[in-house]
Chain A
């Protein structure tokens, strides 16, 4: 997952919405674990579109 740090507001929304609990927010930094199944939900619902998936547009 690519995080656009200029956009991300570290709100934790993607963390709480991830169905596999694959994201961790350490105050200002998002960490993605191997549990991610590339469902794309976090990319879709981020209020400022700060996430993009590697290998996808």
Chain B
């Protein structure tokens, strides 16, 4: 069997994998990144909305090739149609750009290659290899051939599927209330506001989740929905999305040109995302905002942290769990509080009836929020509806 040797094998060439590969290669590590699909960044499984601030934090220069549209604000709509609209003057952090994900992901992969990483396409990891209880690499199917990649450490960047970690013995199982099942259409010729991202909430719109409209310019928009898994039984996500599009006049003369599906985890992240010789990043580590489902920035951050920590480990030749723990500390210090707070908020919001959600949206539209983000919205809720945030008010 053909065997490759390297310092780090990265499984999955999404944003998390490419960032990890880039920072490993930059640190002088011999890095191989494998991707099972035939094209990086496609098919699309994303609404493509990101904020702007974090790009600088992870060293990504905004590039017009992968920025599809620039948002000036956001609209939150309640079941009865109450709107909370944030205009340019207080646009902010949960909106920003709508990306061209297939180009964004490829740009990150290019950066990894420029730093010295190798990529193997159409190469699926099918299991990990353990020798004497120690992880020493991965088994793969590469272009139809069984191969082995031996490495000192594995970065599991395999996205929502999150199987590599499980093969290695890290439990990544999810509860039904921590999964959103999603479907999205790329609608064309829609009569929508090109500069606002829209979030529709409420049990009769999207039980336990939300329905988004993210404009891409020229009457094109990603219109999709996430429904909490515990409310699904018979293609609920598709039924709710179809109903919305059928009844909203803005889509009267609009048609879908692309259908995408996917799932997001809405838990606050794994209990521990490292073990001996393995690090989990991004969706694989279940590190994704439980309210917005935004995971691109989290994948990029955790990918970068993984690369930095592995570079340090290589200097000492120690890739044990203990040596990898700085990664755990880095992501928790940066994101844990927010993930936990938004997870609690998600749990509460899913319990509210539509009348209360109407009240909530009316309430926040009357408030003076300078910047739209979950934190600021929760602060208003805390003031007026303390019950909703009971139990995690300390985090707000």
Instruction: Tell me, in angstroms, the Cα distance from A9 to B183 when the chains sit together.
Output: 10
Known: A26-B141, A49-B234. A13 touches B160 (CB 8 A): yes
Partner of B163, one of A10, A13, A15, A44: A15
Task: Using C-beta atoms within 8 Å of the partner chain, give the interface range for chain A.
Answer: 20 to 34
Instruction: Indicate if B262 sits at the interface (CB-CB under 8 A).
Output: yes
Q: Which of B11-61 contact A (CB under 8 A)?
A: 36-38, 43, 45
Q: Are A12 and B233 in contact (CB under 8 A)?
A: no
Q: Are A21 and B262 in contact (CB under 8 A)?
A: no
Instruction: Indicate if A45 sits at the interface (CB-CB under 8 A).
Output: yes
Task: Using C-beta atoms within 8 Å of the partner chain, give the interface range for chain B.
Answer: 35 or more
Taken residue by residue from 156 to 170, chain B's Cβ proximity to chain A (1 for < 8 Å, 0 otherwise) reads as 000111110011000
Instruction: Tell me, in angstroms, the Cα distance from A55 to B172 when the chains sit together.
Output: 29
Q: Name B226's closest neighbour in chain A (CB-CB).
A: A47
Among the 9-residue stretches B63-71, B173-181, B320-328, B369-377, the one with 4 or more Cβ atoms under 8 Å from chain A is B173-181
Known: A11-B45, A12-B161, A13-B160. A47 touches B173 (CB 8 A): no
Minimal beta-carbon separation of A6 from chain B (angstroms): 12
B159 / chain A contacts, CB cutoff of 8 Å: 12, 16
Q: Which of A4-51 contact B (CB under 8 A)?
A: 9-13, 15-17, 19, 21, 24-27, 41, 44-49
A-B contact count, CB below 8 Å?
87
Q: 21 A-B Cβ contacts within 8 A?
A: A11-B260, A11-B263, A13-B181, A16-B160, A19-B173, A21-B166, A21-B167, A24-B126, A27-B122, A41-B229, A44-B232, A44-B233, A45-B179, A46-B235, A47-B181, A47-B232, A47-B261, A47-B262, A48-B235, A49-B234, A49-B238
Q: Are A45 and B229 in contact (CB under 8 A)?
A: yes
Taken residue by residue from 230 to 266, chain B's Cβ proximity to chain A (1 for < 8 Å, 0 otherwise) reads as 0011111110000000000000000000011111010
A46 / chain B contacts, CB cutoff of 8 Å: 181, 232, 235
Instruction: Tell me, in angstroms, the Cα distance from A47 to B263 when the chains sit together.
Output: 9
Q: Are B237 and A47 in contact (CB under 8 A)?
A: yes
B200 / chain A contacts, CB cutoff of 8 Å: none
Instruction: Tell me, in angstroms, the Cα distance from A38 to B293 when the chains sit together.
Output: 28
Q: Name A8's closest neighbour in chain B (CB-CB).
A: B261
Minimal beta-carbon separation of B72 from chain A (angstroms): 31
Instruction: Tell me, in angstroms, the Cα distance from A35 to B179 when the chains sit together.
Output: 21
